Structure 1
């Protein structure tokens, strides 16, 4: 077990003031009616924008009715008295502000939103902070990117009892003391992202009863040993160096809904509050699963006992034992992200305790063949019932999966979406198996059966090295969307998509290097979106004419023309089309005329090109200008008729020759009859003469 090192650091805050500050005198407004400085934009009588004008000071003599003033992105280094008593919002961000007159804000009695981000307020903090004492109604303060340490922040936040939203991102805070927010007890959200925080003193956030959002991302925190912010709803601890997150297990109710622990060094599942509203847990880019699930559970229980005893100075008792499974049953978790961790097997036995879980991301792990295996026996020696997940969305992309056993899908009775992109999944040939609903697949069968998954609607099989899609692959699986892109040289057999006629709406076959002969599409009566881009197709499948396509993508193929009969069939529903990157023939564009006469929007028509021949040379022209090069354009719609005419002529010629031969034979036969009779008479005469003699 990895024993935690508990290091308690207590630092005393010492406030200091900067010397050498020269007060900026108050600026009197010039007499006369209010005016708008040159190049400033008056968006309304209440709002004025003077940003990006290289101003060296805040303009004076402005309309006193102004409620919003933006002087951001200028060269302002000092701020005098601002006489705008109705002003509610002031933006002085991204300047060079170093000096603020102590009475600069005394007339801004309505100001509730002040943005001072990206200035140089780390200097002269003792004098600058005096101006903030007049901001009694301030609710929103942004002092990000000012190089402030915790001493400076403590000075600026004095007497800020109305402050609700505070941004201190991108400063240089290394610790948070218990005095830091002592006078800002109404805070609802605090952003401390991208500082250098190593330590948080106990009592820093606990007095903030209204605090609901806390962002501590991109700091140097090593662990959270005793989380007890009961009212917090959103906590971002991503991109620190956290190894474990522990909450004391008691019956206190926590309001926490979102916990982001991504991009840390977490080895175990966090020990979250026993009773909470936690719905979204982000654990991506950690080290969870490195020791295996069972070992991890034992380790985290032992870790909890040790830390509990250290913090509360108690011997072992009931509260120092952590039962993760029983606690997870109470957790209303909906979304769990475990991507980019160290899982080698699917933690079904652990996750099935999360009875509300709907979305699970396990992409970018080390998963291989997924099978539930033996579920074991209970205490009575009886086999356990099959565990199952309530998950509807499952992301398994970028693993090394070759096989998903049938019992794996049986454990996901509500699954609607599976992302298997960039694995080694090979769909089984359902037709070769006796019962496509329940197929006997052993661990040696390196294919996955997608037949009979009655809840599955969205399936992503991109970049899996699939070579052949066999007949009836998705039989009795009501897919709405299917992505087969990136499977080089894949062949789709006839009837491969049989069974999807009434459900499939989106089909993507992008970048497969497929030719027209490789694609045999079933008549899909519900298909609305078809993407065939980045292939080598030169003819359209004739069956797409029976689909109510609304979007068709044919970019980067080998089309020289499109069959006008098929285009005619598509016009009833087609709205959007993409055709660029094909070697179209400028002189066989009858199909384009048909499309141009309808409401079909060819999004890339002005980038698409075509080829034409002139003086034995091939030239390129914009497809939209095809008529310039081919004014007498031959139509491609008569292609079928043109092929039929020679056949008819050939048949007529053959029949004519046959008739001629028959007539000739008949005529010859009639001429031979008298000759035979003559010969008959001559023979009889010879016989008579012979008798006489």
Structure 2
């Protein structure tokens, strides 16, 4: 049977028929071959056309559910569909009807029609952020009564906000609404939010709100979280949040609010008012109900005084960084008559009140701060802390006073609560620490003590040995000395502190540390960088050989050191030390991080590179001038997946042929040096014949002036007489 140009023979066919067919094929061989070729060509053309169509024709994002798992952006996972960045102009209409979550972010949708969501009656979450949406028709949500979360951020909904407000009234179960970055003013928001009585979370950040009155949020009785950051708010009318009885979290950061007076939102738990121009924070002091406020963020404002907190509160976190807070008693109470100075305050209502400078800050002590755990007053104008200021904070565990103007600090249990675990006094003007050992245990729970970047000169030698649970000490950027025994008031004892783990002594102008200075302290992290006069000796750290995991010796004029005793070392910084070769003792360690920046390394032997590459995970090599013709180590590191060269763009090599050349390592070809070597051969081939010609001319010239030289040379070589 012949079909499609192919021959099929049955098993029971007789020989005569086979012979006849073979004869026919012999007679019509040419014709049969042409048919077969034509058929094959047709099939081939069809296959090529199908392949071209599959490659050239773009795949739309609106595809069947079975194709979602193969698309980079469009994906369907059970009842959730992601259509982010699919260049859509409308809502897909071929998704499963039981869809519950639909994400249409970063598309080109400008309009939601009334029929856009008719198919998805079970929809609970809809996200259409970062589109160009201008209109949402009034009936679009009539078929999605189960919708609980709606995100419409980064659109242009100010154009038809009335229609958006009518559309939202079809959502009886809506709990979360995001309308941020839609150029909405307060009157638009008031119109949109009418009758949304089920709303629990509302985000209006990045809009054009300037003033809040009592009507804008009046109907949101279930609202618990309100985000108003990055607007243009300069005034919040008294009673604007009066109807929000369940409001717990309020964010008004990055606005232009000048003050917060008579704060009385007792139900609020978190208030973020950072990055405004607030000069005063005064809570209502006659409130009988206890305030629920736990976190108050007033950082990056223009406050001059410590905030007046509620009389009854449970505040735990108070953030006051980047203000202008100071205590003015010492500056003003210095009259020669002995009478305290008086400061005159003019209130907002026009009344005048005189306050004694000594008690200028005393009103804040009436606030309830017994539950405060974190107080951050970094980057203010503090010159001192009034007596008793911290003692009322009986639960304080973290105190941050960095970047101020403190000149002295009195560390005693009567001033600082025993609960303190973290104390940051860095970047101040401290020249001395005042301590009194007669009070017994000094800060028994303190674990982290940061005194870096001060001018400490007078510090009792027993200061840190008296801290029973101290785990981290930072004395960087201070002119101090480390001694091995107590008694000398000009140095600090750091030995036999059994809880000490982290010690930072960078930029202290240290010259040497005796082997006994750190003995008995199980330090795991030791930082000694930026001490250019420091004499590095192995015996200095020998007592830490079993515990040390990180060692920083950058910019210490290190020339060589035997690191073999430090088998626990995992991180090492020896940058900026003019090393011209890698210490061989590093090969026996199990290092994970190695900093070799700013040395004089020209190469790394391939054997060392292989050993290091099996252990190192993070490597820094910038600032060295490697030899471009000795880069085998670079290839070894690049071929190992576990090695990550952090500063790869800064690693360079030095190529010296006819001129010096600097090139980035990642742009250097592996055959670069071989090509440079091959370029020398043309010069050799050019000058070799010339040299041979000159040599021949010299021989001819010599022989022409001395013709007997050749017979004499032959006679000496053959050792027989020659007759002439």
TM-score normalised to structure 2 length: 0.67
Alignment of 1:517-666 (within 5 A): 517=536, 520-524=540-544, 525-541=546-562, 545-546=565-566, 548-561=568-581, 564=584, 567-568=587-588, 570=589, 574-579=591-596, 582-584=599-601, 586=603, 595=612, 600-604=615-619, 620-623=630-633
Rounded to whole Å, the distance in 1 between the matches of 2:80 and 2:342 is: 56
Counterpart mapping for 1:197-208 below 5 A: 197-208=233-244
Partner secondary structure for residue 507 of structure 1: strand
1:149 and 2:164 correspond: no
Residues 300, 150 of structure 1: CA spacing in aligned structure 2 closer, same or farther, 3 A cutoff? Answer: farther
Residue aligned with 2:503, SS: strand
Q: 1:471 to 1:619 in 2, by over 3 A?
A: farther
2:74 to 37, 41, 57: 41
Tell me the equivalent position of 1:58.
Answer: 91
Give the match's secondary structure for 1:350: coil
Give the direction of change, closer, same or farther, for the CA distance of 1:512–1:302 in structure 2 (3 Å limit): same
Does 2:428 match 1:395? Answer: no
Partner of 2:687: none
8 A contact 2:484–2:518 mirrored in 1: yes
* 1-structure distance, mates of 2:533, 2:435: 31
Q: Could you say which residue in structure 1 is the equivalent of 2:222?
A: 186
Question: In structure 1, which of residues 167, 172, 180 is the aligned counterpart of residue 203 of structure 2?
Answer: 167
Following superposition, the deviation at residue 101 of structure 1 comes to: 0.8
Q: Take 2:528 and 2:379, find their aligned partners in 1: how far apart are those partners?
A: 28
Q: Indicate which of 469, 484, 487 corresponds to 1:455.
A: 469
Deviation at 1:366, TM superposition (A): 1.0
Q: Does 1:211 align with 2:247?
A: yes
CA distance in 2, matches of 1:278, 1:308: 29
Structure 1 residue 591: Cα displacement: 5.5
Partner of 2:453: 422
CA RMSD, Structure 1 to Structure 2 (Å): 3.8
Aligned partner of 1:495 among 493, 507, 515: 515
1:113 to 149, 156, 159: 149
Q: How does 1:195-594 map to 2 (within 5 A)?
A: 195-249=231-285, 250-289=287-326, 291-292=328-329, 323-328=363-368, 331-347=370-386, 349-371=388-410, 386-390=414-418, 391-407=420-436, 412-426=443-457, 436-437=461-462, 450-464=464-478, 468-472=481-485, 473-478=493-498, 479-487=500-508, 490-495=510-515, 497-499=517-519, 501-513=520-532, 517=536, 520-524=540-544, 525-541=546-562, 545-546=565-566, 548-561=568-581, 564=584, 567-568=587-588, 570=589, 574-579=591-596, 582-584=599-601, 586=603
Q: Is the 8 A contact 1:274 1:331 kept in 2?
A: no
Larger displacement relative to structure 2 (577-586 or 86-95): 577-586
Contact 1:35 1:63 (C-alpha < 8 Å) held by counterparts: no
Query: CA 1:626 to 1:557, structure 2 compared with 1: closer, same or farther past 3 Å?
Result: farther
> Hey, what's the Cα distance between the residues in 2 that align with 1:36 and 1:106?
30
Mark the CA change 1:324 to 1:609 in structure 2 (over 3 Å): closer, same or farther. closer
For 1:121 and 1:97, locate their aligned partners in 2 and report how far apart those are by CA, in whole Å.
6
Alpha-carbon distance change, 170 to 211 in structure 1, aligned in 2, over 3 angstroms: same
User: What is the deviation of 1:576?
Assistant: 4.7
How many residue pairs get aligned? The number is 542
Match of residue 680 from structure 1: none
Q: Is the 8 A contact 2:430 2:456 kept in 1?
A: yes
Whole-angstrom CA distance in 2 between matches of 1:307 and 1:557: 63
- Decide whether aligned partners of structure 1 residues 170 and 33 sit closer, same or farther in structure 2, where only a CA change above 3 A counts: closer
Secondary structure of 2:399 counterpart? strand
Q: 1:308, 1:247 → 2: CA distance?
A: 17
**Distance (Å, rounded) in 2 between the aligned partners of 1:165 and 1:587:** 59
* Greater RCO structure (CA 8 Å; 6+ sep): 1
- Segments of structure 1 that go 5 or more residues without pairing to the other structure are 1-30, 311-320, 376-384, 431-435, 438-448, 613-617, 628-693
Structure 2 Cα separation of the partners of residues 220 and 34 of structure 1: 49
* Structure 2 residues without counterparts, runs of 5 or longer: 1-61, 334-339, 352-360, 486-492, 638-724
Counterparts of 1:264 and 1:480, CA distance in 2: 37
Distance between the aligned counterparts of 1:69 and 1:514, measured in 2?
A: 64
CA distance in 2 between counterparts of 1:78 and 1:626 reads 56
Structure-2 separation of matches of 1:292 and 1:117: 49
